[in-house]
Chains A and B, each alone.
Chain A
Amino acid sequence: MLTRLLSGDTPRSGLLTVLLLIVLVSLAFAPFLFPGTRSLETAARICIFIVLVASYDLLLGYAGIVSFAHTMFFGIGAYGTALALSATGPSYGSLIWGTVAGAVAAAVFALAIGLFSLRVKAIFFAMVTLAVASAFAVLVSQMSWLTGGEDGLNYRIPRALTPAFKLFDEKILGVRINGKLLAYYLVFFVSVILFLAMLRIVNSPFGRTLKAVRDNAFRAEAIGYRVVWYRTTATVLSAVMAALAGSLLAIWLRYTGPATTLSMEIMIDILLMVVIGGMGTLYGAVLGATLFILAQTYLQTLMGVAADATSAVPLFSTLVAPERWLLWLGVLFILSVYFFPSGIVGRLRAGRV
């Protein structure tokens, strides 16, 4: 049953299984295990980014396609939901049509880009996606009458998903069951379903063909696979998944703006998460996204503690001062890429830790 749910793609490493279970249990019970607004924000971000990073790995790790337009698709999903909620009010109806519209728009865009540029060299596709994504970001910030420009959009979501809504009067396990918690579980369960769906896709005959195309597109053609169509379909699927992740973010934040969805920084974060976790394995997305977001969120705090504790040591305390957290984040990435060139999952499956 479990193997079926995982589409036969089990973690195949004891330690990896343990790590994945820790992530799953922590996310499933996050509101109860780590009470507090900040930790819930982090948990929701992790869920959403697992889907986003996994969808990028579908393209990069499985199909071997380098795209810089992934945040654009993420943004299309987020703006779809945001615009629908702004335009037709905070109902479930507008939530659903906005999400569907975002996903369809992402699919159409991806199809157009794919058919236009996947026939030619990989570098050309990468450049086209970069250009289209930049143009899209500029367009969104310029069309402020529609998108709110750089300020983005604030909107209301259905009341049952907001902190003002209380399901029960009493607290359960010391936690109030409010709309924010329901919104978290919406994000969590949709993320789980999307992740399992992607796990099925990469283990389907289609997913196997993608790996063949990645390995040797020339030979894949010669045994009868129409490579362009496989690459284009992979691009479309990945774009739709990214758009759905964007819709989750839009629902969770009740705000959508260029900085949270479209920025090149997020694109680079996604790339790093895929590489750190391990390309060509969706479990890598889980570990990559979790570690990266935890580091991003808590490294600064951790360093603040370290700086206070070592304030007597002059040079060291300056080095670990909280404002230098980005430097240390960079160092961590260089070390992790150096020591785990095939990513954490690749390393764990190879059996040498």
Chain B
Amino acid sequence: MAKEHPILETRDLTIRFGGHVAVDGVSASFERGSLTAIVGPNGAGKTTYFNLISGQLSATSGAVLLNGEAITRLSVPERTDRGIGRAFQLTNLFPTLSVRENVRLVAQAKARKGFDLFSVAESHVELLERADHVLAEVRLIDKAEQTVAALPHGDQRKLEVALLIALGSQVLMFDEPTAGMSVDEVPVILDLIRKLKSDMDRTILLVEHKMDVIRSLADRIIVLHNGALVADGAPAEVIALPVVQEAYLGKTPDASANSGEAA
């Protein structure tokens, strides 16, 4: 009987740095159109888990499968081509280029026009239109001409989300998208993520610390602790679990010792 593959799956995914096991045999699968929050204390391996999925790190053992196909050995751009999009925790943009150019570059990558040597980039009107469309969506259109380095932090976070929207991948990974944003800007980002999930049927993975954000967005939570998956389920259930109260919310004394570990 033919079984429908989950869009993204990790099987026993593990990475060791010397003696330290940063991600320890994590198996999880993600269905189309779902939004999964990944939580855990600092150093639990959340960002490392993301890096293993998007390819910045290669797994020591285990596998990453996209639509049932192993992508564990592929490079970062190959995984991006296959449909994995990634936003970063620390803002990670093209600082000397304009806001519009940042998004245009993503549209250009998607249209596979990067190796076009003979035409003038500005003549590809469809890429500029696509960029402006996305910028309008994240409410950055009036800053399109500005250089990214001169942008306030909140706008850089918005641009980070804009790049993922422009990429339009099947799987979108956000690493603390609202970190360092002002209170009135947070809902803008959350609305965008919600829209990506519902209107575009994207599968979203979200690393987030703010419980209210998780409650309002996630249909599922997985909890990492010391690199291992310790809980997986619907938000209400998972938050109520003692292991989560202990590991994530820091209800016991030894939680503070764990939070000091490096990822």
Contact = CB atoms under 8 A, between A and B. Distances in A.
A220 B94 CA distance: 9
Interface string A191-233: 0000000001101111111011001101111111111011001
B73 to A, nearest CB: 15
B64 to A, nearest CB: 15
B120 to A, nearest CB: 5
Interface string B71-94: 000011100110000101000111
Interface string B109-126: 110011111111111100
* A7, A212, A229 — most chain B CB neighbours (10 Å): A212
A200 B120 contact: yes
B124 A205 contact: yes
A216 B102 CA distance: 11
B108 interface: yes
| Interface residue range, chain A | 20 to 34
A223 B113 contact: no
Interface in A1-51: 4, 7-8
B120 A8 contact: yes
Q: Most chain-B CB neighbours within 10 Å: which of A200, A223, A227, A229? A: A223
Interface string A115-150: 000000000000000000000000000000000000
B228 interface: no
B66 interface: no
B245 interface: no
Given A209-B108, A224-B81, A225-B77, A219 B116 contact: no
A230 B97 contact: no
Contacts of B96: 211, 215
Contacts of B76: 221-222
B54 interface: yes
Most buried by A among B54, B88, B95, B108: B108
A219 B108 CA distance: 14
> Chain A: interface secondary structure?
helix
B105 A204 contact: no
A7 B122 CA distance: 9
Contacts of A205: 108, 113-116, 119, 121, 124
Nearest to B54: A222
A219 B114 contact: no
A212 B122 contact: no
B121 A208 contact: yes
A219 B105 CA distance: 11
Contacts of B24: none
Contacts of A233: 115
Closest 3 CB pairs of A and B: A224-B80, A215-B94, A224-B109
Interface of A: 4, 7-8, 200-201, 203-209, 211-212, 215-216, 218-227, 229-230, 233, 237
Given A8-B120, A8-B123, A215-B95, 19 more contacts: A203-B121, A204-B118, A204-B119, A205-B124, A206-B114, A207-B117, A208-B104, A209-B109, A209-B114, A215-B94, A215-B97, A221-B76, A221-B77, A222-B56, A222-B88, A223-B105, A225-B77, A226-B75, A237-B117
